[in-house]
A and B are shown apart, each in its own frame.
Chain A
Amino acid sequence: MRFAAILLAATSLVGIGVAQAADPVPVKIGVLNDQSGLYADLGGPGSVWAAKKAVEDFGAAAKGLKVEVIAADHQNKADVGTSIARKWYDTEGVDVILDTPNSGVALAVSGVTQEKNKVFINSGAATSDLTGKACTPNTVHWTYDTWALANGTGKAIVKTGGDTWFFLTADYAFGHALERDTSKVVVDNGGKVVGSVKVPLNNADFSSFLLQAQSSKAKIIGLANAGGDTINSIKQASEYGIVEGGQKLAGLLIFLTDVHSLGLKTAQGLNLTSAWYWDQTDANRKFADEFAKANGGRRPTMVQAGVYSGVLHYLKAVEALKSAKDGAAVVAEMKKIPTDDPLFGKGEVRADGRHIHPMYLYEVKKPSESKGPWDYYILKATIPANEAFRPLSESDCPLVKKG
């Protein structure tokens, strides 16, 4: 009896000892995005897959991290997004929120993340305010932003003579930021903005707005919208003979999935700025092939690639700190170590939370040039990393010390 008791005590001690030695650092990743609406194809379930893939490729388990990935649908509503974020942070032990397209939701979630001292790595949203006046020590903006889009597409178009602009703007935080940043580029390069119209989000019929753009006589109609809205405006512009009439469309934010939906016949010749294209390097193609296998043949967008790359870098920082609990410390570590991964190459996370990497100008292929579905872009120019994003000297982020 006594022997048995000693044995029991001994095993329980051993048990504790073993548990301590192998106790992995728990990390819980929440992918919060549009799973079913107009932005679901460019992020959605594909972003969840990308996050899981990053955890797998990082070899988290072997490096002493116990990583779990969960996902939720914010339905493009800021209130839904923040209540999920609060629930995740408060009761479900989520350490980091990923993706989150829709600038309105992203700005709200960024606020909650700072309040709870967690980490927010945004790939899907566009507003440059995330690393501008609304920057926080807990937010990293990974893939692209409105400043980079304006600087890429906007500048290229003004330089080739498109110097009068009319904007069709999605009426929420993203559209406003994109119009603001592009207008600045247009004006700075000697162009003029002759007007704009604010269109409600998720609008099906653009003919009225297109007609207003037509009568403005602007050379360029800037589409400061995204996803289904961009698709419908381009499609209907071709119906109303806008391009035949001598005006040009400038899609300021066009995703690969948008081009797929439009078909090359309608989309050919469009100029666009993107952070990533699947058919550009061998590493990208390899990632895209695996993505396609798991996602019904679709190719990944820059947003999904950005989620992958962002998760890798985040896990590196957590590995170095051996803890994911202090969000601000993890982000500080992410800013300290340089970024390096197969999809986005070498780069850095700047003091304002902006991930710096090259951006690319593409043109959409003609149907005759494309080898088949998803073969859509021709590379026109590379914008080097040090020119692709808003310089810190122009930043209105309070984290940036001005010398």
Chain B
Amino acid sequence: MFELLGIPPQALFGQLLLGLINGAFYAMLSLGLAVIFGLLNVINFTHGAQYMMGAFAAWMLLNYLGVPFWGALVIAPVIVAIIGMVIERTLLRRLYNLDHLYGLLLTFGLALIFEGLFRRQYGSSGLPYNNPLPGGTNLGFMFLPNYRAFVVVASLVVCFATWFVIERTKLGSYLRAATERPDLVQAFGIDVPRMITLTYGFGVGLAALAGVLAAPAYQVSPTMGSNLIIVVFAVVVIGGMGSIMGAILTGFGLGVVEGLTKVFYPEASSTVIFVIMAIVLMVKPAGLFGTAK
């Protein structure tokens, strides 16, 4: 029996796995942000609120309509994405030609409004959502709940699919072209405004999907998004704004780093990501995977 840095290897493997699970949430949320920023040039501060709305949509579907978790996994993101697309059409669209700051202020304000509305209605301490996959597997070094295993797999699938669509398909190439030269792409007969609306809806849907996945693991509460979103922004900055692969890899990577901090020096676990962010910004201001424009 050897020990690594004073921690038995069993515990270490367990913590690595837990880090991956948390990283799965970071990855999915930062992926949505990266897609929206990469293609729309909007810093979507409503992302945390949309994640929260995804969780609440799942809760409402279950409690008001009796739709179980697996149904909510599909329906809730669609509902939240539609709300997102309405926001894009009616509000965000007016700000594309202005400075980033305006989009940031608008989305930040919207986030506060959504959070306030849910708090008014449901209180701040949250609502219970039962685990759809109770039980777990004993891996020898740790007890892995079935649901957490499902979260990691689902998140990997979604992340890979998104990366594949954007980087390796024709649709993705249109999207990427539209961000570089929207006028030229439009000249080829592609409806760029609609593509942007759908892209925003997709990014928002990703946030909502993460929210649905979070509902059984955490508490469904109005502030769940604002607690997480700051970390996710740090993840996006470290990965490089707008870089799809960067968002995914840093999401999982930082989840692991944070998980290890929780063992070695738990008091710092809520700050370690920001320390890394500061270091990365000093050494590589465009982020680990970003390219300076």
Contact = CB atoms under 8 A, between A and B. Distances in A.
A209 B261 CA distance: 11
Interface string A213-245: 011000000000001100110011001110001
A323 interface: no
Contact of A171 (B123, B148, B218, B267): B267
A236 B270 CA distance: 19
B123 A199 contact: no
Contacts of B21: 207
A163 to B, nearest CB: 24
B223 A37 contact: yes
Interface string A134-155: 0000000000000000000000
Interface string B213-230: 000011101011001100
Contact of A199 (B131, B142, B227, B266): B266
Interface stretch (B10-18, B29-37, B87-95, B275-283): B10-18
Contact of A239 (B131, B227, B269): B131
Contacts of A42: 125
A42 B228 CA distance: 23
Given A197-B266, A209-B266, A44 B124 contact: yes
B125 A258 contact: yes
A124 B197 CA distance: 47
A200 B11 contact: no
B228 to A, nearest CB: 7
A235 B219 contact: yes
Given A36-B119, A199-B266, A240-B143, A208 B18 contact: yes
Nearest to A44: B124
A211 interface: yes
B61 to A, nearest CB: 17
Nearest to B260: A208
Interface residues on B, range: 35 or more
A263 B126 CA distance: 10
B108 interface: no
A227 B125 contact: yes
Contacts of A261: 125-128, 219, 221
A209 to B, nearest CB: 7
A204 B218 contact: yes
B223 A38 contact: yes
B195 to A, nearest CB: 35
B219 A239 contact: no
Contacts, number: 110
B213 to A, nearest CB: 13
A11 to B, nearest CB: 50
Contacts of A239: 131, 136, 145, 147-148, 217
Nearest to A199: B266
B124 A241 contact: no
A284 interface: no
B113 interface: no
Given A208-B15, A241-B143, A200 B270 contact: yes
B263 interface: yes
Interface string B136-178: 1000001101011000000000000000000000000000000
Interface string A256-267: 011011110110
B124 A36 contact: yes
A40 interface: yes
Contacts of A257: 123, 125
A300 to B, nearest CB: 13
Nearest to B8: A215
Interface of A: 36-38, 40-42, 44, 171, 197-200, 202-205, 207-209, 211-212, 214-215, 227-228, 231-232, 235-236, 239-241, 245, 257-258, 260-263, 265-266, 298
22 contacts: A37-B223, A38-B125, A38-B223, A199-B266, A200-B270, A204-B218, A204-B228, A211-B14, A211-B15, A228-B125, A231-B125, A232-B218, A235-B128, A236-B217, A239-B131, A241-B136, A245-B143, A257-B125, A258-B125, A263-B130, A266-B128, A298-B123
Q: Name the 8 nearest CB pairs between A and B, nearest first.
A: A263-B128, A200-B270, A208-B262, A40-B124, A41-B125, A261-B125, A41-B123, A239-B145
